[in-house]
Amino acid sequence: MTTPKTPQSPSEKILASRRKFMMGTAVGSASLLAAPYVNAQSGPIRWRLQTYSGAPLGAHVIKPQIDAFNAAANGEMEIELYYADQLVPTSELFRALQSGTLDAVQSDEATMASPVDISVFGGYFPFATRYSLDVPALFTYYGLKEIWEEAYSEVENVTWLSAGAWDPLHIFTKDPIRSLADMQGKRVFGVPTAGKFLSKYGMIPVTVPWDDVEVALQTGDLDGVAWCGFTEAYEVGWADVCNYALSNSITGAWFGSYFANTASWDKVPPHLQQLFRSTIDQSHYYRNVWYWGGEAKLRVEGEKMELTSLPAEEWAQVLQDANGFWDSVAAESPRAGRVVEAFKKYAATMEKAGYPYR
């Protein structure tokens, strides 16, 4: 007798179709990058790379890139991938990278406590972006690449390699948020800068290991998360324990970067350095497609969380408050001021450009 299959829910269908598509993308990229095998006499170069993300999310935001690199390196170099807190706590990623405990890191500056005056912009900086393409545009055309290189040139034994976009920031909670007053006292897991901004409305940022978030939501130690968009919430299981999703997005894309231990980077021959940079670019592309398509479908078709929104007049107040937050951060250092100035110039340009930019 054949056991009937349980029908997939709308969100399960979306996630399954996107996994299948992106698996094909990763395999195809690895085969295209394949190079002739070279048997290095001294043995392969081995790196340890740790990401900020847990394993379910890491399977998309970095694993395809590492798999592609290892396949194309053909025995000359191999990167061992570790997920959040597996080798060192996320808060110690920078120190572990600088000391050589790790050869490379994927994270935002704020989450890993990077000791540079631009660390506040890593992760989710309120309303700095509206779309994922805003991030590479800011780095390419508005000077952020040069600012990041300048900042990290002052830090010993750490090389900044590249920044890319992740998902927008939404707030997911067990109890609904339909006004700013509903934020009062809610304990949320989230990235530092956004948490600092949201604390203005009474939210309480709470730091726990990434793998402990779901349990903390179940036990009541957390009331919600302000860490990601719909794609991650569904992918990692947080949508199963949160009942509501605030449709008002605090910012359009997370700023994340790749970093290398300088001594480790300098030991890598130029052709493998280029291969690593190329697969980083592949990772940026992968994430843009995975998040962009997934966010829209899950907001419309996902069935696990009820959408709520803030009243128009309260949302207008939040937008106004962000201007003051930007100015306070700009005053922290001349370099921070240059970043905020780039944000303002970019926002003004996009508004003038109109559709489809804004």
3-state secondary structure of 51: strand
CATH superfamily of this structure's domain 19-167+253-297: Bacterial extracellular solute-binding protein, family 7 (3.40.190.170)
CB under 8 Å to 256, separation ≥6 — which residues?
52, 61, 106, 107, 108, 122, 123, 163, 164, 165, 166
CA 224, 230, 232 angle in degrees (round to 5)?
Answer: 80
Kindly indicate the confidence band of residue 30, based on its pLDDT and cuts at 50, 70 and 90.
very low
**pLDDT of the residue at 152:** 97
Q: How far, in Å, CA of 335 to CA of 340, rounded?
A: 9
Average of pLDDT values for 101-121? Answer: 95
Q: What is the pLDDT of residues 56-106, one digit of tens each?
A: 899 999 999 999 999 999 999 999 999 999 999 999 999 999 999 999 999
CB under 8 Å to 104, separation ≥6 — which residues?
47, 48, 49, 79, 97, 258, 259, 260, 261, 264
Q: Where in the chain is the domain with CATH 3.40.190.170?
A: 19-167+253-297, 169-252+304-353
Q: How far, in Å, CA of 19 to CA of 21, rounded?
A: 5
Q: How far, in Å, CA of 114 to CA of 133, rounded?
A: 24
Compute, in degrees rounded to 10, the torsion defined by CA atoms 75, 80, 81, 86. 170
CB-based contact 233:57 (threshold 8 Å): no
The closest alpha carbon to 191, from 264, 118, 270, 91, belongs to 91
Amino acid at 123: G
State the average pLDDT for the chain.
Answer: 91
Q: How far, in Å, CA of 57 to CA of 210, rounded?
A: 11
Q: How far, in Å, CA of 308 to CA of 178, rounded?
A: 6
CATH architecture for residues 169-252+304-353 = 3-Layer(aba) Sandwich (3.40)
pTM listed for this prediction: 0.87
Q: How far, in Å, CA of 175 to CA of 186, rounded?
A: 9
Q: What is the pLDDT of residues 302-313, one digit of tens each?
A: 999 999 999 999
The closest alpha carbon to 286, from 80, 3, 19, 90, belongs to 19
